[in-house]
Structure 1
Amino acid sequence: MPRTRTAPRTASSRVTEARRLHIPIALRWGDLDAFNHVNNTSMLKLLEEARVRAFWKAAPGEDAPETAVLESGIDQGVLTLIARQEIEYFAPVPYQRRPLEVQMWFGKIGGSSVEVCYEVFNDPASAERILYARSTAVVVLVDAVSGRPTRVNDEMREIWGRYVGDPLVYAHRR
């Protein structure tokens, strides 16, 4: 049985696998810094990539999860803006050829915003499972013309509601 190195037990550990999206994200050599691990700013870009793959509609011929309901591009009328993001690291992420696994779910679906929760692991086929980081992003839907928040629509609420779980609890928050 593979060993798992994880953070202390928190509310998020009660989120069932059925309520999580599993998004593979490949590292690029340029994601590393002088200390030979993924730089903190690169980690935020990797989470952004997972978020785009999870929530933006795919181009014709591409695969996407059912949660990919947002049209991409400013001309589509709705923007997704990050209002807040928090990240907690548990282990440095070394370069690896196999993709990282970003597990995602919603901690909350509000009127015009969603709280997206992330856990970043090494490849699921690895002998030792490693949790590298946890993160939360508050994403606000904004009307591209007026710049004002816009409501989460019924389709989003119905589909995204299948992936709601406990929000993250940060161990080292002061």
Structure 2
Amino acid sequence: MSHVEQSGSPSPRARVCVDIALRWGDQDEYGHINNVAYPRYLEEARVRVFSLGLGDEYAGLETIFAGSGEIAHKMLLASQHIEFLGVLPYGEAPARIEMWIGKIGGSSFDVHAEIFDQGSAQALVARAVSTLVVVDGDTLRPKRLAATEREVLVRWHAEPLKMRRHG
């Protein structure tokens, strides 16, 4: 089960919330969700919100970024940075992924996300920034965001995460 929450538009707490069921096969030998599962969870949340817009996940973003219809845009993942802050134990409670737009560029935007353990710990276990590039559906070349697309993204814009620097 998942849903969308938005506490104002625009707002520092404008977030799309998606609950992702934990899979038994995603755990490691310690009973924690393995780090390699996090990118898949983030991808599933993005697909639900930006492409499907099913049920409670309707956020207005899927009308532009579904990759079909009159506006044949697609999104490609250009980069993803994940910081692991704790462990996510396997259990019945789904992980909660809260996402928002942290930066909007000419043909790209950054999806910021926080992943929470909804089990007994109720803790923030990871943060991520995923850069998506909007491309033409036929040529797959970057395409500048139109004013209407930018308007939809701005409704979900909030303060970007401050990620640790590395390298």
TM class by shorter chain equals 0.7 to 0.9
Taking the aligned partners of 1:151 and 1:21, their CA distance within structure 2 comes to 24
Which residue is equivalent to 1:143? 136
What letter is aligned with 1:79?
K
Q: Does 1:84 align with 2:89?
A: no
RMSD: 2.4
Q: Does 1:97 align with 2:73?
A: no
Alignment of 1:1-174 (within 5 A): 16-17=12-13, 19-58=14-53, 62-63=55-56, 64-69=58-63, 70-72=65-67, 77-123=72-118, 128-171=121-164, 173-174=166-167
Taking the aligned partners of 2:139 and 2:67, their CA distance within structure 1 comes to 18
Which residue is equivalent to 1:9? none
| Offset, 1:128 | 4.0
| Offset, 1:72 | 4.2
Taking the aligned partners of 2:31 and 2:67, their CA distance within structure 1 comes to 34
Q: What does the per-residue CA deviation read over 1:7-35, in whole Å, with 9 as the maximum and x for residues that have no partner?
A: xxxxxxxx732x11111111111111233
Q: How many residues align?
A: 155
Taking the aligned partners of 2:120 and 2:43, their CA distance within structure 1 comes to 27
Call closer, same or farther: CA 1:128–1:84 in 2, change over 3 Å: same
Q: Structure with the greater relative contact order (CA < 8 A, sep ≥ 6): 1 or 2?
A: 1
What letter is aligned with 2:24?
W
List alignment gaps of at least 5 residues for structure 1.
Answer: 1-14
Tell me the TM-score normalized by structure 1.
0.78
> Percent same amino acid among aligned pairs?
36
